[in-house]
Amino acid sequence: MLIISPLLVFLVLGTAVPSAWSKLHFKFRGLPYFDSLPVLKSRHHSMALCCNSPAPRQVIDPMISQRQPLYFTETDIEVDAKLSTVELILKYGFPAETHYVDTTDGYKLCMHRIPRQGARPVLLVHGLMSSSASWVQLGPNSGLAYLLYLKGYDVWMLNTRGNIYSRDHVNRNLPDSQYWDFSYHEIGTYDLPASVDAIIDKTGQQQIQYIGHSQGSTAFFVMCSERAEYAKKVSLMQSLSPTVYLRENRSPVLKFLGLFRGGFTMLIQLLGGFQVSLHTPLIQQFNKHICSLSESTSRICAIFEYIICGFNWHGFNQTLVPIIVGHSSQGASAKQILHYAQQQGQMAFQRYDYGGVLNLLRYKSLLPPLYNLSLAQSNVHLYYGAGDWLGSSKDASQLQNFLPNCIGNTKIASDSFSHFDFTISMDVRTLVYDQVINQCERY
Ligand SMILES: *[C@@H]1O[C@H](CO)[C@@H](O)[C@H](O)[C@H]1NC(C)=O
Ligand SMILES: *[C@@H]1O[C@H](CO)[C@@H](O)[C@H](O)[C@H]1NC(C)=O
């Protein structure tokens, strides 16, 4: 049944099931699908995107935040949807810098910074398919990066490998199948250590603070397990939707994909290629889970990550749809999604499962090795939402039990608070960020 039911759904989805596996294999070895947004097509223009910011305008003193308009005008909404992270920051009168970091496995990452020399550095790491823009898109009154800067922090924002700002590799001829061969394992093992080191190096500070949303949290715990010395470089880690144990996962897409353990070729077919295609028929089949008929005309209802992670229609300001859409779906690999799909329904936080034989070759064991959470020695504060498909209170408690220095486990005071509400809710400042900043002040 376990094998038959996904096959049935597969047929129902209307995706052609090729007559033989060999055909499929041939197809994907040679020609992965890369039919996503035009802007996502080239891996090699991200540096340009990262750098091409307009000449800085005169920077007003943002400490006087009262001058910031409380609301977006119609023009703001239209314009902000198209601006890059740096352009957004400059537009609102804050200073912005771009820094490049190479990982030891050759990925070139772009970090954005709202610099405050000599101040305590805090690193913000976005979630699945997002970018540094998730910390500024709500504007100076609700964007966490601005709020932290105004409190006196030196704010750094990472763009993890594969998103539109970080899509280069030292080997420009690396085939796409190899470039996109990563999950949050590699983000935790390579991207995070490289960016932590870059901040410590540039600022001369001994320790940093860390705030991660979704995958930005998952990858942090991977980093601590694989590169334990980095836990000591982080005095406080605040986890917005920890996304480590997904035993109570409520995402229909992850449940569905979770049935395919090991069937990588078929999964690649479903997701549209090594780089996830945003127009995969799979996602269209599931969008009714986040949108009712009356809402289904909104562009939100076609956004990959909202369909996977869930969406709270009443939590965000619907006037801002263009901004949110404009900064969504910033790139992901199929393997990132599959690693989460493997994790769902399980009580194990472990490395990517290649299937028995391949696991033996890679890991010298039939099952993937578990990540060792007792190595996450940093102080950790967890925040979870009751309406988050990827995080229940049980999953958060479970994580808390495994962490050696968990200093808090907070349920957000709103029953429907969902996965992306941590970055787009209209009440995110009062519900989450004020607490997060208070916690920062204590470390
Ligand atoms: C939604 O955002 C618009 C533009 O910033 C603003 O005018 C409106 O008052 C907001 N609505 C709510 C409910 O916050
Ligand atoms: C996890 O790390 C702790 C602390 O170093 C160590 O004592 C323990 O043996 C490790 N567990 C596993 C399963 O490797």
Give tens-digit pLDDT for 401-426: 999 999 999 999 999 999 999 999 99
Residue 398 has pLDDT above 70, yes or no: yes
pLDDT at 231: 98
**Residue in the block written with tokens 């909404």:** 77
Strands (E), 271-355: none
pLDDT at 35: 28
pLDDT at 56: 43
Domains of the chain: 4-441 (3.40.50.1820)
Residue 8 backbone dihedrals phi, psi, to 5 degrees:
-60, -50
Q: How confident is the model at residue 296 (pLDDT cuts 50, 70, 90)?
A: confident
Give the ligand whose atoms come closest to the C-alpha of residue 377: 2
Residue nearest ligand 1's atom 9 by CA: 71
Residue nearest ligand 2's atom 3 by CA: 374
pLDDT at 41: 38
Residue 126 has pLDDT above 70, yes or no: yes
Which among 142, 214, 378, 414 is annotated as catalytic? Answer: 214
pLDDT at 60: 46
pLDDT (tens digit per residue) in 31-50: 222 222 333 335 554 444 55
Residue 25 has pLDDT above 50, yes or no: no
Q: How confident is the model at residue 273 (pLDDT cuts 50, 70, 90)?
A: confident
Beta bridge partners of 158: 111, 125
pLDDT at 325: 94
pLDDT at 271: 87
pLDDT averaged over the chain? 86
CA of 139 to the centre of ligand 1 (A): 12
The mean per-residue pLDDT over the stretch 291-320 comes to: 89
Beta bridge partners of 378: none
Q: For this structure, is 419 an active site residue?
A: yes
Q: Kindly state the tokens that stand for 318.
A: 């619907």
Q: Which residues line ligand 1 (CB under 6 A)?
A: 71-72, 317, 319-320, 426
DSSP 44-83: TTHHHHHH--PPPPPPP-TT-GGGS-SS--HHHHHHHTT-
What is the phi-psi region of residue 331: left when phi exceeds 0, alpha when psi lies from -120 to 50, beta otherwise? left
Give the ligand whose atoms come closest to the C-alpha of residue 350: 2
CA distance 337 to 305: 10
Q: For this structure, is 214 an active site residue?
A: yes
- Identify the CA nearest to 237 among candidates 382, 380, 434: 380
Is there an atom of ligand 2 within 6 Å of 374 CB?
yes
pLDDT (tens digit per residue) in 137-154: 999 999 999 999 999 999
Beta bridge partners of 379: 236
Residue 375 has pLDDT above 60, yes or no: yes
Give the ligand whose atoms come closest to the C-alpha of residue 74: 1
CA distance 116 to 119: 6
Please report the atom of ligand 1 found closest to the CA of residue 317: 1
Which among 169, 185, 339, 419 is annotated as catalytic? Answer: 419
CA distance 307 to 305: 5
> What number of other Cβ atoms are within 10 A of residue 172's Cβ?
10
pLDDT at 262: 64
Residue nearest ligand 1's atom 4 by CA: 72
Is there an atom of ligand 2 within 6 Å of 430 CB?
no
Residue nearest ligand 1's atom 10 by CA: 317
pLDDT at 53: 47
pLDDT at 50: 56
Local structure of 189: helix, strand or coil: helix
pLDDT at 43: 56
DSSP H or E run through 336? helix 334-343
pLDDT at 280: 84
pLDDT at 33: 28
CA distance 323 to 196: 29
Q: How confident is the model at residue 299 (pLDDT cuts 50, 70, 90)?
A: confident
Is there an atom of ligand 2 within 6 Å of 205 CB?
no
pLDDT (tens digit per residue) in 155-194: 999 999 999 999 999 999 999 999 999 999 999 999 999 9
Q: What is the pTM of this model?
A: 0.87
Residue nearest ligand 1's atom 12 by CA: 317
